[in-house]
Amino acid sequence: MIKAVIFDLDGVLLSTDQLHYKAWKHVADLHEIPFSQEDNHMLRGVSRQECAKLILNKTGDQYCEDFKNEFARIKNEYYQTLLDHLSNEDVAPAIIILIRQLKGMDIKIAIASASCNAVKIIKKTRIDGYIDVLIDGTQVVKSKPDPEIFLKAAQKLNIDVDKCVVIEDSPVGIEAARRAGMKFIAIGERRLHPNVEKVFSELAIASADEIIQF
């Protein structure tokens, strides 16, 4: 029986995908590095530092760690200005209803996000009051697909991994959930998640019963 739902944040509870794209595109343009929407899609679920390395590695040039760190810092600085415009209207009403339904069924709610900006995002969108546990990028050493972030969420919730279901939109997030020994649901196009049993095009169309029935 499912006792906890662990949500990814970006691309699941709300879409900040285009904000990430604009921020990475901004810093890439400063250094005349090509960066496309497809490139941005491949970075879903990956930590900021790892994203910077992946973008720079694609150029074939060698960059020192200081440059990679500065590249990531500039991206985050620009991204922060974009986040300032977030509000509760950026979360679909159907998602709030879904979370309330889960809470009404005594299901614990956690967010496990690679983002180091997760606290700011959930406060700006006013969903912090629904969350029992938040594990973000500042609390983990290893990035997805390592299961560390989900295992920490389960530990903090004090719920066994086999009683947790993860809702993710990225392949690395799904793999992290699999490695953690948890059940999982994918958000997005079915073709992007061919080996996942339950896939919803978007979280807003899912029901509480569909999520916890495993």
Residues tagged active-site:
8, 10
Q: How distant, in Å, are the alpha carbons of 41, 60, 68, 174 from that of 170? A: 9, 26, 24, 6
DSSP 166: E
The beta strands (E) that lie in 121-208 are given as 133-135, 164-168, 183-187, 199-200
Q: What's the CA angle centered on 213, arms 208 and 214, to 5 degrees? A: 140
First and final C-alpha spacing in the chain: 7
208 token code pair: 């509480």
**Separation CA 206–CA 188 (nearest Å):** 12
Torsion (CA) 19, 22, 23, 29 in degrees, nearest 10? 170
> Any idea which residue has 């997760």 for tokens?
118
